[in-house]
Structure 1
Amino acid sequence: MHKRRKYLFFLTRGLYIGWTLLLLSVLAIIIERTYTYAKYIAIQEAKTSVNKDLAYRTWVASHGGVYVPVDQRTQPNQYLAHIKDRDFTALGKEYTLMNPAYTLSQMMHDYTKLYGIKTHITSKKLLNPENKPDEWETLALNKIERSRRQYYELSEIGDKEYMRLMNPLITKKSCLKCHATQGYKVGDIRGGVSVAIPMKPLYKDALKSSLLVAALFFIIWLAGIAIIHYFIKKTYKYIDEQEEMYEQYIYGLVSIVEKRDTYTAGHSTRVAEYAELIAKNMEFSEEEIHILHRAGMLHDIGKIAIPDSVFLKPSKLTQEEYKLIQEHVIMSYEILNKISLFDDIKEIVRDHHEHYDGSGYPRGLRGDETPILAQILTLADSFDAMTTDRIYKGRKSVQEALDEIERLSGKQFNPEIVQVAIQALKDITIEDIHHQKPQNLLERERFSYFYKDSLTGLYNETSLAKDIHLIQNYKHVIWISLKGFHNFNKTKGWNAGDELLIEIARTLQQTFTKESMLYRFYGDNFLIFTNDEKEIQTLRERLDNNFNDKEIIIDFKQNSKKITTDLNIGSLRDVLQKLF
């Protein structure tokens, strides 16, 4: 994967994770504050309840207590027996005094039954043992004695959670009527009003609010993810378009290189396919295989800078020319290095001519100093070179090429890769077209420096030497030699001799179709490969009609033997000796 794609991959994950964590954090804060607010509501309810109780108690105390009819629920308070006028009878009914604590106790009991809010008057010095503090209330009484302020906290009653609050009861003058006997003075803390607000209903409301908020946040999260996905997709599309544009540009350059000669055409594609096949058998990842395939397609891009006089040369290169060819890997690297898209393949391309024993170029790397993908590409490149016809060397069969690769194991190639390649490439089918012969008019003209006779435009002896193996594809071979041409040059001049050769060549070109092959050799000799007997007859007639008065004799010979493989024709001399 390209560097930008990797960056975008991690950026995408980062955005997804960041967006998710951001919303989760905000949601957690909101939920935490929702539950905190539930506690705040509980505290406020507790304070309101206490204030209500105190207001009621103050009112009762301000009237010195209240008298109510005695009934089953409200009996005379035994703890107020010391008050002389605690009870009286009027209109046939018995009445008893209810002090603030007594009235508040009954009201708290009713309030608890109605609303579930537990309220309780308690003290460390009790008039009524029923008002005995529980464990939490004892702790709270100790705290309010010191602070003289309300104390509250979450606490459990049984297995349920409550917000519990203790409000101090401060002794006032009106309180001494009932509590002077306990030793209290005005201003003393003589107990407290305890309130317990059940948290379950408040937590239930908080949960509902939290679920609604969570649902809203989930929608916001989905919207955010969709927006991120949209822009990331657009960015990927942009990168894909950029990559496609760059790769089309580079592959266009590769196409230019491959159109320079028939051998190079398809070479990059074959090398990429061979390398990919080896990498798959070595169980490389899909990403690595894709990188290797791209490297194979572009490994010879630097050859675009090699002059035709070297690049298209059909014979063996000189030492200087070979050094120039070697420069193509550096040129390839420099071309790819200018485009960040190819950062993942540029070193593979640069090092694909390194050898395992350090004898390669351009850096003389040894063993695993060469990237493993470049080592695979080295073998694939060599395999294709071995199985492709060259002018100066015929191609090997697949098995011969693999045998050669095995012999070079540990020298030119990594032994581990060799073993895999032998199995991966053994069933490869090589097409017959892999040779360096020009296939069209454009190629013929570009190869004219090497193959064309500069005077007549026919193919020269160099071309004939490389095409000699194609003679078996033709039924007829015509050998034309000009007798007396040397004397013609002496008497008529060299220019006249050149014009005569050009005229004969033009006659040959006008007579034979493109399927026939026309050559000039030894200066005044011509050779024609053809399958058309009518064209041969036409040529005879034209030569007789056009060149009888040229003071030369045209020696016209046609092969007397059928062209078969057992003739072992491998050179021009073989053609002349074995067919005529």
Structure 2
Amino acid sequence: MAKKKSNVVNLDERKEAKAKASSGNSMMVSIMNMTKRIEELKTEKQKICEMAARTILKALDAKDKYTYGHSMRVTYFSMVLGKELGLNDQEMYDLQLSALFHDIGKIGTPDAVLNKPTRLSDEEFKIMKKHPTESYEILKGFSVFEKVARFAKHHHERYDGRGYPDGLKGEQIPLYSRIILIADTFDAMTSTRVYRKGLPYQTAYDELNEFSGSQFDPELVVKFIRGMKKEQAKKEDKFYIPLMDEMYEKDAA
């Protein structure tokens, strides 16, 4: 009789263990499904935020077509450098967002300042210098753009600490901000405007080298020029921005 009781106990224990295992598997599946749903919701939220930011960017296009095209070219130049640095897909995505929306704060800059064809006065320059902080304020309103907002805020910091808005120096400046500064300056030099013709690429490379170590991160300047020369060798007159899913002209004329 004792033996039969033992068998019954063992059978009950096996049933209990099986039930626990089944419960554990069910819980694991439930957690996995919940994680998947959260990821799907996060992706959808990110898509909505991207759409909202693009809408603001389109509004900026209506206000100032140069700034819109400039943002596209800065994104392209930034991605060239990012590729040369060997950034992974997620890092390239963050860099693309940061470059694309770096000047979004100019939506609040007065037209008279934004579109002035001559040199800005000291007072006008003070107004213009507010746009990185304005970009930060707009972007930080989207929770998924927290990092992007910080990168946009610091894209006018100089390597020697004489930039704005916070006077950051060297590697205190976020990497993506240092990348965008080079791309931003390069486009400003090579873009043709109503009041002047853009510089040839080689002349712009020389300018970057001249201010390497003072305005720009010297290592990034070397890699940017190397990456751009590879792009030049392709002899293409358009570039593609994945986030916008559009092709753009390389020439700002």
Shared fold (TM-score, shorter chain, > 0.5): yes
* Aligned position for 2:162: 359
User: What letter matches 2:206 in structure 1?
Assistant: D
Structure 1 Cα separation of the partners of residues 210 and 113 of structure 2: 30
User: Residues 269 and 221 (structure 1 numbering): CA distance in 2 closer, same or farther, change over 3 Å?
Assistant: farther
**For residues 106-505 of structure 1, what are the structure 2 equivalents within 5 Å?**
206=10, 212-426=15-229, 427-428=231-232, 429=236, 431=249, 433-435=251-253
User: Residues 203 and 371 (structure 1 numbering): CA distance in 2 closer, same or farther, change over 3 Å?
Assistant: farther
% identity of equivalent residues? 32
**For residues 499-578 of structure 1, what are the structure 2 equivalents within 5 Å?**
none
Specify every segment of 5 or more residues in structure 2 that has no aligned partner in the other structure, as ranges: 238-248
User: Residues 336 and 212 (structure 1 numbering): CA distance in 2 closer, same or farther, change over 3 Å?
Assistant: same
* Aligned position for 2:245: none
Q: Is the 8 A contact 1:262 1:434 kept in 2?
A: no
Return the index of the structure with the highest Cα Rg: 1
Structure 2 Cα separation of the partners of residues 264 and 352 of structure 1: 15
User: What letter matches 2:225 in structure 1?
Assistant: I
Q: Is the 8 A contact 1:260 1:312 kept in 2?
A: no
CA deviation profile, 1:305-351 (whole Å, cap 9, x unmatched): 01111112223322222221111011111222333222111111110
RMSD: 2.6
Bigger strand fraction: 1
Q: Is the 8 A contact 1:315 1:391 kept in 2?
A: no
* Aligned position for 2:240: none
Q: Is the 8 A contact 1:263 1:388 kept in 2?
A: no
Residue 238 of structure 1: CA displacement?
2.2
User: What letter matches 1:358 in structure 2?
Assistant: G
Residue 418 of structure 1: CA displacement?
0.9
For the residue of structure 1 that corresponds to 2:65, the secondary structure is: coil
For the residue of structure 2 that corresponds to 1:265, the secondary structure is: helix
Specify every segment of 5 or more residues in structure 1 that has no aligned partner in the other structure, as ranges: 1-43, 46-114, 116-200, 436-580
Residue 416 of structure 1: CA displacement?
1.0
Residue 203 of structure 1: CA displacement?
8.4
User: What letter matches 1:272 in structure 2?
Assistant: T
User: What letter matches 2:61 in structure 1?
Assistant: E
Bigger helix fraction: 2
Structure 2 Cα separation of the partners of residues 341 and 432 of structure 1: 30
User: Residues 252 and 316 (structure 1 numbering): CA distance in 2 closer, same or farther, change over 3 Å?
Assistant: same
CA deviation profile, 1:107-158 (whole Å, cap 9, x unmatched): xxxxxxxx9xxxxxxxxxxxxxxxxxxxxxxxxxxxxxxxxxxxxxxxxxxx
Q: Is the 8 A contact 2:73 2:250 kept in 1?
A: no
CA deviation profile, 1:53-108 (whole Å, cap 9, x unmatched): xxxxxxxxxxxxxxxxxxxxxxxxxxxxxxxxxxxxxxxxxxxxxxxxxxxxxxxx
CA deviation profile, 1:235-271 (whole Å, cap 9, x unmatched): 2222222222222111110111123233223322221
Structure 2 Cα separation of the partners of residues 340 and 365 of structure 1: 24
Number of aligned positions between the proteins: 237
Structure 1 Cα separation of the partners of residues 20 and 54 of structure 2: 49
